[in-house]
């Protein structure tokens, strides 16, 4: 029976991600049993929170619409096959610059997008948490950087990040748990360019281990990271927090689509309605956490509208499904004299954050850029859809595959109210209205990526590349249910607790008030670590059922 | 269905592994051997002289063994590592060749001093090459990553040690005189070998410390080879300053432990390969990428020389 | 146009089938791709023939006795309603878009050359396809569908994705192919593991 067809985590056991055919015991809750937390989504936000809350002694059930894989036996070394890890249920993408969805920004499996992410785990620049006050754009975060610095360290420890001894940008950080990997040839191109341009570079801090860790094998540099790691070297939430959650007594329900969060007459959440194993069910819960990421979380809140909450849950401010951000993913590619063979090793082994920390520029925000190593299908598809090349010329250009090198940005975009998520007319396989995503770049976004293209062109040339060409795409999702300081312009407070419903929480990337110029996963995990600590602290003060003094919460 | 293909199982990596295994077996045999009876008070003067000469020969043998062990370790390790580097520079053949030559000429016979001298020289030149590789040739310049993944700075030094041990053994035999204390190049042999061993242990420890740091000391056992050998080195140095029965006994125990650790280390590294993806079934990758199988026994080699020095020291008291 | 010379003529990624570079899940997936080419289930025979003719121009394979099949996998995807997880709002639904395209190029071929697309020679086929790419193809089938968007973001993307997922294409470009449990050791430029394609320079030597 395949993991995609029949739920695996049932009857008191769940797949053991470290052993072929293995199982670990799992505590199971009855639908009628009112659990402390029902968490919708098991990715960087939900999976992390499930582990932390279960370890704190709460009863937890975590739902994921995706399958529960054992990477060692379920993941093939094949790009097409492994697209099973991407969100492939229908969505509609519109706006001035419709973004592509799925492979580059949303996953569908237990562990969420971290199962196919490229493992780049960078911290935010401290000033970004006060983007409005310190840098003059976007919004401030209701969380300070010093506090986040501690949670970053926690997240890095939990995911055993392999990173450099000293990182050239930002305030000091502790030693990474594991040493940085050898930088592959593709990364050395960035290194050469950075030295020629006089900017700093670093081996990318990566969530893939450079030495054994328990039953997880160290990275073998097979390069299929984006297609799921069959080595178990990748420290995804699937192989880090999920086993912890199970061990601590959480239940994980795979192939379980939550369609609605139920609320009672008093306007409090009472549980979730979910579809699993052929029928709709209802799980009662004292608290509900939406952790489905920037599209599914707003979609769920909107799909849960009632007479009392006609615009969707937690939406009195009208900000649910607004301020969605992406990272511009513009890239420059060129042909080298040497054979680079970028398919070896994780795709982005060297990073330059120069323009995240340099403020003399004609745009707000920043970008990091990294060396690249797309596998053939990924590269071919990006190449043809950007250049329009076909015919014999396509085969000729693709034959340069082993000589190619590239630099690609993770470019910050501005939070704009018009970019976001609404419900479309169409319905998905569960009969639920699908998400309609709207996105358009603003002038600042354009200035940013144009700057990056100019810079990377010069740098790639300096590194010895010829026949340059550019591609554009987007990656990652941030925002959609921004957290903030006031109930009238945000969905949640600093703890991810919705302003409108005391026992409804959000714990994922949709909370981001601004995007930052780095990959979001580490920040999502760090936020989840923080939210877990806050929930434990609130419970200790007896403020879990009812919010404490509103002013107190505001001051916090 | 595509036609299955079978790659030849014979590759340098396999030979490297075989050499390492052979080294292990030989080392275990040596360990089983006993040193000559210790000198006792009240022995007749003539007997004492005869015993002294026996101790000289014993130290020479120990040094030969040390040299052999080190050469074996270097042969296997450099063959594997330079194969990993695909012998892109013809000089990369020099290290395994010199180690092999030193091995072949390890016993008594003509030309052995030339062979050992060549080994030591190759090691010294190799160190220069490795420094050049790490500092100058890497795209990134001198960084932690070039130290971790560039040519290992300390590795060729093991070849220097191997050659020096062989040379010392040869010299010891040449300078042996009835009734006179053992000497090497005119210097008293026991303290000289003891200090050389201490330095060798410290240098080897530095190399291991770097590589185990690279491995994030993920297994607590990885701390042993960075703590035990330097302790043994200090104890050995102390015996030179104060050769009392107590200091000698302490140094002996620590050196014996280091000898055993070197052999056990190969076992740990074999287990480390098993813990890597695919384990031993994936040997064609993991012998190169996993922990280096033939490296730890170099500790055994160095420690053996120190044990010989202690034996001599004890008999000369 | 000069003839295409694949850079690694002696390299076959399938030669690694029984080595540690391939594991069972991968062998299962690739064996299925090689041996069970989907049959026509979505398109009608004329659409099927037209799509084959299109793919033959997008990725010509005159050098292969057995060309890598592309059209059957497109048919299969549409038959199984296998979405990529999104569609552009301005575009029709996937199934509809493909049918409009195939009808559209027939109309354009009729308008230009008085015969259906499949009956055109290679040069004329290319001219029709280039017209689509430039949003200049005639015909009412297109409706409000943007020709260029469909051509580059759906058609070309899909065809390239299928071709470069085939072991023959991996060998052609010197890609290492499947790599589990065995990955790679040598990550430096111009350096290779014995289980990779020989360097181009080695081949010349």
Q: Decide: helix, strand or coil at residue A178.
A: strand
Q: Residue B181: is its pLDDT beyond 60?
A: yes
A1 within some domain:
no
Q: Is C66 on the interface with B (CB under 8 A)?
A: no
Query: Hey, are the CB atoms on B277 and A233 less than 8 Å from each other?
Result: yes
Contact: A394, C182; criterion CB under 8 Å: no
**CA gap C14, C17 in Å, rounded:** 5
Domain that residue A479 falls in: 13-555
Opening angle at CA A295, ends A289 and A299, nearest 5: 65
pLDDT for C144 beyond 50: yes
Residue B161, pLDDT above cutoff 50: yes
Overall number of domains in chain A:
1
- What pLDDT sits at residue C2? 53
What gap in Å lies between CA C28 and CA C41, rounded to an integer? Answer: 23
* Position A295 in a domain: yes
| ipTM score for this prediction | 0.97
For residues B126 and B131, what is the distance between their CA atoms, to the nearest angstrom?
8
Of C33, C161, C178, the CB nearest to A381: C161
pLDDT-derived band at A289, boundaries 50, 70, 90: very high
| Model pLDDT for residues B6-63, shown as the tens digit of each residue | 333 344 444 455 555 555 555 555 554 545 544 444 455 555 566 667 888 889 999 9
Cross-chain CB nearest to C173 (options A222, A385, A402): A402
Tell me, what's the pLDDT at C1? 47
Does A496 fall in a domain? Answer: yes
Q: Which residues of A touch B (CB under 8 A)?
A: 164-166, 177-180, 182-183, 188, 191-192, 195, 201, 203, 210-213, 217-218, 220, 231, 233
pLDDT tens track for B287-308: 999 999 999 999 999 999 999 9
> What are the chain C neighbours of A463 within 8 Å (beta carbons)?
none
* Residue A343 pLDDT greater than 80, yes or no: yes
pLDDT per position as a tens digit, A136-174 = 999 999 999 999 999 999 999 999 999 999 999 999 999
CA distances to A67, A426, A431, B161, C10 from A280, in Å? 18, 20, 11, 74, 56
Chains that touch C (3 or more CB pairs under 8 A): A, B
Using CB atoms, which chains have 3+ pairs under 8 A with B? A, C
Nearest to A102 among C30, C85, C89 (CB): C85
- Would the CB atoms of B275 and A192 count as touching at under 8 Å? no
Q: What is the pLDDT of residues C168-192, one digit of tens each?
A: 999 999 999 999 999 999 999 999 9
d(C-alpha A50, C-alpha A492), whole Å: 19
pLDDT value at residue B102: 87
Dihedral sign for Cα atoms in the order B188, B194, B196, B199: negative
Residue A5 within any structural domain of the chain: no
Task: Tell me the angle at which helices B112-132 and B155-175 cross, rounded to the nearest 10 degrees.
Answer: 160
Disruptive mutation site among B1, B2, B3, B14 for chain C (greatest number of C CBs within 10 Å): B2
> What percentage of chain A has pLDDT greater than the value 90?
97
In which element (H, E) is residue A326 found?
strand A322-328
pLDDT per residue over A481-538, tens digit each? 999 999 999 999 999 999 999 999 999 999 999 999 999 999 999 999 999 999 999 9
Mean pLDDT taken over chain B = 84
CA C45 to chain centre: 20
A429 assigned to some structural domain = yes
Say if A4 falls within a structural domain: no
- Lowest mean pLDDT segment, chosen from A369-373, A539-543, B140-144, C60-64: B140-144
For residues A340 and A400, the answer to whether their CB atoms sit within 8 Å is no
C-beta separation of C105 from C129 below 8 A: yes
What is the phi/psi pair of residue B151, to 5°?
-60, 130
CA distance B286 to chain C (A): 8
Cβ–Cβ < 8 Å for B59, B182: yes
Chain B contact probe: residue of C34, C182, C205 with most B CBs at under 10 A:
C182
**Can you read off the two tokens belonging to residue C46?**
């004329």
pLDDT in tens, A23-59: 999 999 999 999 999 999 999 999 999 999 999 999 9
**What pLDDT is stored for residue B110 in this prediction?**
62
Q: What is the pLDDT of residue B136?
A: 78
Assess C35–B contact: CB distance below 8 Å, yes or no: yes
Interface touch B276/A212, C-beta < 8 Å: yes
Chain C residues touching residue B282 (CB < 8 angstroms) = 20, 181-182
Pairing of strands A466-471, A474-480: unpaired
State which residue of chain B sits closest to C31, comparing Cα positions: B1
Q: Specify the pLDDT at position B49.
A: 60
Percentage of chain C beyond pLDDT 70 is: 97
What the block records as the tokens of A371 is 């060396």
Alpha-carbon distance B315 to B237, whole Å?
18
> In chain A, which residues have their Cβ closer than 8 Å to the Cβ of B210?
none
Distance of CA A130 to the CA centre of its chain: 21
If pLDDT is split at 50, 70 and 90, which confidence band does C40 have?
A: very high
What whole-number distance in Å separates Cα of residue B182 and Cα of residue B42?
Answer: 21
Contacts of C35 in chain B (CB under 8 A): 1
The Cα–Cα gap between B119 and C141 comes to 81
Whole-number mean pLDDT of chain A? 96
Q: Which residues of C touch B84 (CB under 8 A)?
A: 185-186
- pLDDT, tens digit, for every residue of C51-74? 999 999 999 999 999 999 999 999
Average pLDDT of every residue of chain C: 95
For residue B55, the model assigns a pLDDT of: 81
Could you say which of B11, B86, B284 has the minimum Cβ distance to residue C191? B86
Least confident of A12-16, B122-126, B150-154, B250-254: B150-154
In-domain check, residue A8:
no
Residue of chain C whose Cα is closest to the Cα of B86: C191
Minimal-distance CA residue of chain B relative to A177: B216
Provide the pLDDT for residue A38.
Answer: 98
CB A394 within 8 A of CB C70: no
Per-residue pLDDT tens over the stretch A262-283: 999 999 999 999 999 999 999 9
pLDDT confidence of B179, banded at 50, 70, 90?
confident
Confidence tier at B2 by pLDDT (50, 70, 90): very low
CATH code for the domain of A544 = 3.50.50.60
Q: Give the position of tokens 């062990």.
A: B69
Which position has the higher pLDDT, C205 or A395? A395
Q: What is the 3-state secondary structure (H, E, C) of A207-271?
A: CECCCCECCECCCCCCCCHHHCCCCCCECCCCCCHHHHHHHCCCEEECCCEEEEEEECCCCCEEE
Are A220 and B289 inside 8 Å of each other by CB?
yes
What CA–CA distance (Å, rounded) separates A91 from A84?
16
Backbone angles phi, psi at A340, to 5 degrees: -85, -45
CB nearest C152 (choices: A102, A185, A388): A388
Q: How many CA atoms lie within 13 A of B193 on its CB side?
A: 36
Closest to C160 (Cα-Cα) out of A88, A337, B96, A79: A79
Q: How many percent of chain A have pLDDT more than 70?
A: 98
* Interchain CB distance below 8 Å, C157 and A385: yes
Phi-psi region of A57 (alpha: psi -120 to 50; beta: other; left: phi over 0): left
pLDDT of residue C203: 53
- DSSP labels, chain B: -PPP----S--HHHHHHHHHHHHHHHHHHHHHSPPPPPP-TT--HHHHHHHHHHHHHHHHHHHHHHHHHHHHHHHHHHHHHHHHTTT-SGGGGHHHHHHHHHHHT-SSSTTHHHHHHHHHHHHHHHHHHHHHIIIIISTT-S-HHHHHHSS-SSHHHHHHHHHHHHHHHHHHHHH--TTS--EETTEEHHHHHHHHHHHHHHHHHHHHHHHHHHTTT-SGGGGHHHHHHHHHHHHHHHHHH---HHHHHHHHHHHHHHHHHHHHHHHHHHHHHHHSTTGGGGHHHHHHHSS-TTSTHHHHHHHHHHHHHHHHHHHH-
* A287: in domain: yes
What mean pLDDT do residues B208-230 have?
Answer: 97
Which of A100, A223, A436 minimises the CB distance to C179? A223
CB A253 within 8 A of CB A63: yes
């Amino acid at each position: 029976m395949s993991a995609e067809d029949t739920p695996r985590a049932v009857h008191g056991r769940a797949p053991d991600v470290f052993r072929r055919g293995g199982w670990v015991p799992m505590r199971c809750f009855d639908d009628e049993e009112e659990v402390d937390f029902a968490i919708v989504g098991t990715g960087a936000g939900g999976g992390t929170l499930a582990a932390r809350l279960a370890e704190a002694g709460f009863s937890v059930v975590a739902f994921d619409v995706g399958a529960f894989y054992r990477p060692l036996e379920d993941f093939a070394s094949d790009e097409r096959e492994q697209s099973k890890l991407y969100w492939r249920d229908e969505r509609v993408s519109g706006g001035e610059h419709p973004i592509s969805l799925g492979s580059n920004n949303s996953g569908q499996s237990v562990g969420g997008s971290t199962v196919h992410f490229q493992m780049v785990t960078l911290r935010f620049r401290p000033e970004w948490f006060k983007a409005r006050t310190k840098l003059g754009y976007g919004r401030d975060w209701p969380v300070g950087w010093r506090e986040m610095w501690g949670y970053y360290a926690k997240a890095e420890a939990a995911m055993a990040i392999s990173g450099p001894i000293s990182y050239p940008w930002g305030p000091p950080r502790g030693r990474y748990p594991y040493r940085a990997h050898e930088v592959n040839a593709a990364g050395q191109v960035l290194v050469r360019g950075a030295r020629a341009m006089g900017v700093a570079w670093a081996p990318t801090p990566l969530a893939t281990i450079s030495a054994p860790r328990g039953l997880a094998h160290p990275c073998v540099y097979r390069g299929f990271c984006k297609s799921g790691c069959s080595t178990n070297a990748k420290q995804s939430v699937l192989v880090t927090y999920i086993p912890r959650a199970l061990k601590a007594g959480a239940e994980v329900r795979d192939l379980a689509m939550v369609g609605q969060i139920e609320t009672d007459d008093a306007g409090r959440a009472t549980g979730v309605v979910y579809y699993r194993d052929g029928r709709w069910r209802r799980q009662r819960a004292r608290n509900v956490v939406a952790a489905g990421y920037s599209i599914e979380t707003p979609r769920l809140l909107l799909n849960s509208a009632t007479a009392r909450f006609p615009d969707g849950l937690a939406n009195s401010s009208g900000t649910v499904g607004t301020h969605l951000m992406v990272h511009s993913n513009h890239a420059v590619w060129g042909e080298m004299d040497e054979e680079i063979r970028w398919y070896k090793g994780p795709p982005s082994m060297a990073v330059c954050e120069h323009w995240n920390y340099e403020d003399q520029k004609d745009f707000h925000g920043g970008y990091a850029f990294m060396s690249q190593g797309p596998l053939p299908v990924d590269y071919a598809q990006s190449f043809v859809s950007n250049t329009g090349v076909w015919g014999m010329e396509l085969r000729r250009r693709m034959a340069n595959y082993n000589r190619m090198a590239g630099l690609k940005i993770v470019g910050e975009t501005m939070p704009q109210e018009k970019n976001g998520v609404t419900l479309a007319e169409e319905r998905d396989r569960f009969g639920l209205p699908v998400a309609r995503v709207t996105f358009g770049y603003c002038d600042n976004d354009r200035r940013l990526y144009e700057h990056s293209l100019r810079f990377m062109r010069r740098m790639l040339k300096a590194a010895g590349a010829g026949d340059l060409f550019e591609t554009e795409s987007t990656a990652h999702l941030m925002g959609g249910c921004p957290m903030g300081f006031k109930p009238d312009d945000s969905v949640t407070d600093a703890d991810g607790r919705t302003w409108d419903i005391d026992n409804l929480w959000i714990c994922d990337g949709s909370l981001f008030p601004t995007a930052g110029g780095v990959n979001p996963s580490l920040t999502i995990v760090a936020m989840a670590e923080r939210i877990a600590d806050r929930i434990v602290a609130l419970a200790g003060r007896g403020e879990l059922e009812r919010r404490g003094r509103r002013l107190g919460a505001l001051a916090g | 269905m595509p036609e299955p293909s079978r790659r030849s199982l014979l590759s340098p990596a396999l030979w490297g592994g075989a050499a390492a295994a052979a080294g292990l077996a030989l080392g275990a045999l040596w360990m089983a051997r006993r040193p000559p009876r210790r000198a006792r008070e009240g022995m007749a003067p003539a007997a004492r002289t005869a015993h002294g000469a026996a101790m000289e020969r014993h130290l020479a043998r120990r040094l030969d063994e040390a040299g052999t062990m080190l050469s074996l370790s270097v042969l296997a390790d450099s063959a594997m590592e330079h194969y990993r580097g695909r012998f892109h520079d013809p000089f990369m053949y020099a290290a395994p060749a010199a180690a092999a030559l030193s091995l072949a000429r390890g016993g008594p016979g003509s030309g052995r001093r030339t062979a050992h001298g060549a080994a030591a020289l190759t090691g010294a030149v190799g160190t220069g090459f490795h420094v050049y590789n790490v500092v100058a040739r890497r795209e990134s310049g001198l960084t932690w990553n070039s130290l971790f993944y560039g040519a290992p700075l300390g590795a060729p030094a093991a070849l220097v040690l191997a050659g020096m041990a062989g040379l010392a053994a040869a010299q010891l035999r040449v300078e042996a005189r009835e009734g006179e204390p053992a000497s090497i190049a005119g210097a008293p042999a026991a303290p000289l070998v003891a200090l050389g061993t201490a330095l060798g242990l410290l240098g080897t420890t530095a190399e291991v410390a770097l590589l185990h740091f690279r491995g994030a000391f993920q297994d607590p056992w990885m701390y042993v080879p960075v703590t035990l050998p330097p302790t043994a080195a200090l104890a050995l140095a102390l015996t030179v300053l104060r050769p009392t029965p107590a200091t000698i006994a302490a140094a002996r125990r620590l050196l014996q432990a280091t000898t055993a650790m070197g052999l056990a280390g190969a076992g740990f590294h074999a287990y480390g390969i098993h813990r890597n993806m695919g384990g031993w079934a994936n040997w064609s990758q993991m012998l190169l990428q996993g922990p280096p199988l033939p490296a730890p026994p170099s500790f055994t080699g160095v420690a053996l020389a120190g044990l010989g020095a202690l034996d001599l020291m004890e008999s000369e008291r | 146009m000069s003839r295409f010379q694949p850079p690694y003529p002696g390299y076959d990624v399938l030669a690694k089938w029984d080595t540690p570079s391939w594991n069972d899940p991968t062998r299962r997936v690739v064996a299925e791709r090689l041996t069970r080419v989907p049959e026509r289930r979505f398109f009608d025979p004329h659409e099927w023939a037209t799509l084959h003719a299109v793919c033959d121009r997008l990725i010509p394979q005159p050098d292969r006795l057995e060309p890598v099949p592309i059209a059957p996998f497109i048919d299969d995807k549409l038959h199984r309603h296998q979405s990529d997880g999104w569609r552009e709002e301005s575009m029709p639904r996937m199934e509809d878009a493909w049918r409009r395209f195939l009808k559209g190029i027939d109309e354009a071929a009729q308008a230009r050359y008085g015969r259906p697309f499949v009956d055109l020679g290679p040069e004329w086929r290319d001219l029709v396809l280039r017209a689509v790419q430039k949003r200049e193809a005639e015909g009412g089938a297109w409706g409000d569908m943007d020709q260029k968007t469909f051509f580059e973001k759906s058609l070309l993307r899909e065809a390239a994705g299928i071709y470069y997922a085939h072991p023959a294409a991996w060998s052609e470009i010197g890609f290492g192919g499947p790599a589990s449990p065995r990955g790679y050791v040598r990550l430096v430029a111009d350096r290779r593991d014995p289980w990779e394609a020989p360097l181009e320079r080695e081949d010349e030597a």
